[in-house]
Copies of this chain bind each other. A is one copy, B any other.
Amino acid sequence: MIKSNHIKFKKANNFSDWYVEILIKSEFVDYSPIKGFMVLRPNGYEIWEFLQDIINKKLKKSGHRNAFLPILIPENLLVKEKNHFNGFNPEVFWVSKYGNSNKLALRPTSETLAYFFYSKWIKSWRDLPLKLNFWNTALRAEIKSTKPFLRTSEFLWQEGHTAHATQKEAENEVYDILFMYKNIIENELAIPVIIGKKTNKEKFVGAVYTTALESIMPDGKSLQMGTSHLLGQNFSKPFKIKFLDKSNVENYVWQTSWGVSWRLIGAMIMIHGDDKGIILPPRISPIQVIIIPIYYSLQELEKILAVANKIQNALVNKNVRIEIDKRDNVTPGFKFNYWELRGIPLRIEIGPSDMNKQKFVLVNRYTKEKKCMNINELDEIVNILETIQNAMFNYVKKSINEKIVEVKNYEQFKIHIKNGKSVMAPLCKNELCEMKIKQETNADVRVITFNKTNSSKKCIYCNSRCSEWSLFGHGY
């Protein structure tokens, strides 16, 4: 139950407190008694289920299948790929007590356990490709302060693990997934992303290379939205995942892994929310239209519900997700705030006078426009939902573009980074330049973008020739 719908903090003035406040007041999340852990309440979990459904449909269509892996991983498996283990070791939770067994880790990610099985399951070229996905949680002890969805010691995610006969096939998978993520994040969550490769310094521990999707939040910080890794044969060799090819020659498989987490929900809320609460893009909103009857007697209510049902049925037939808020223990005013705070795109109010005229009021959560509509104009609502979705994406696209500055010399670079901008600049492949820039400006390379041009450029730091643009900024 919401006690007060008033949002104390302003997005523009106190972004971080505003974010937490709207998450708590909208009953999306709550804090666990254990620092760093988070509860996802039904309002928030519904979005996660919705996102799962979208991802599942796309993955199944491309021949991936879901499965389940245990949460506990024996230490001797986790250490098998050395870089991988060194990268995760400081964050691992260990189980102390379990008979005489070896040390057991709570899954920080499942590569090592999955590949123990892959080495049993894959014997021949007929077993390839193997394309599995796991919906689970990962546990990584967070030492920094917690931020719901963005930085928690346990998080919900999906992790995909595939094995292929050739490097080319594996690389195609890496990019197919990257573009699937881009499509979902941009088209469903209305969040524009910049895609590219991570530098060697920033890639996934154990990967040959990591591709990633980055976006920029309203406070100017960058947020990694998902990653898709080429693992090559880095894991198949220590885990002995081998197959006999058609000519009966034994080969190591080529692998990929990739994942997105509930962080996507956090990004969506940070980006689209306003001082009244959450704003959900229509395509991801479990409820797109909420009908609120306004009445003074039960007799009136009955008549209003008849109209409401008619509207609901008509829109359900148009595949609109629409509900009637029939609660009789709260006022219409309470309901307006309740659904506003939760970010439902459209509200229909039907009062006694409207009803007689076959009219209703439509309130747009995103634009805040109110308009009076006739019941025979219902078809328009489908268009309005589409218009909102596009307007939300375009607005964010524009504001992210304004946060990115293209620079060609290091003096400009330092000024813009200091001013909280993200910077797009040429960077050579010498790791020293990346490290020096980090030391001197604290800026990270978020991604080496796929935005290559033919014109030869000069590295922002060492002036040597290079061909790639990198996005620099500060991450969460």
Q: Is A104 an interface residue (CB 8 A)?
A: yes
* Cα(A120)–Cα(B31), bound, Å: 11
> Which A residues from 20 to 48 make CB contacts under 8 A with B?
30, 32-35, 37-42, 44-46, 48
Check B117 against A71 for contact (C-beta < 8 Å).
no
Check B35 against A101 for contact (C-beta < 8 Å).
yes
Check B41 against A67 for contact (C-beta < 8 Å).
yes
Given contacts A34-B104, A97-B93, A117-B30, whether A1 and B41 have CB atoms under 8 Å apart is: no
Q: Nearest chain-B residue to A77 (Cβ)?
A: B33
Q: Is A126 an interface residue (CB 8 A)?
A: yes
Q: Is A49 an interface residue (CB 8 A)?
A: yes
Given contacts A93-B97, A141-B99, whether A66 and B39 have CB atoms under 8 Å apart is: no
> Which A residues from 206 to 247 make CB contacts under 8 A with B?
none
Chain A interface, DSSP helix/strand/loop, else mixed: mixed
Chain B residues, CB < 8 A from A156: 68
Check B68 against A48 for contact (C-beta < 8 Å).
yes
Check A98 against B30 for contact (C-beta < 8 Å).
no
Number of residues from A at the complex interface, CB < 8 A: 55
* Cα(A74)–Cα(B34), bound, Å: 7
Chain B residues, CB < 8 A from A33: 74, 77, 116
> Which A residues from 384 to 410 make CB contacts under 8 A with B?
none
Chain B residues, CB < 8 A from A97: 93-94, 96
Chain B residues, CB < 8 A from A132: 42
A156 to chain B, nearest CB (A): 6
Check B68 against A139 for contact (C-beta < 8 Å).
no
Given contacts A72-B154, A137-B71, whether A39 and B117 have CB atoms under 8 Å apart is: yes
Q: Told that A33-B116, A96-B97, A99-B141 touch, could you supply 4 new A-B pairs with CB distance under 8 A? A: A1-B124, A44-B67, A46-B66, A96-B96
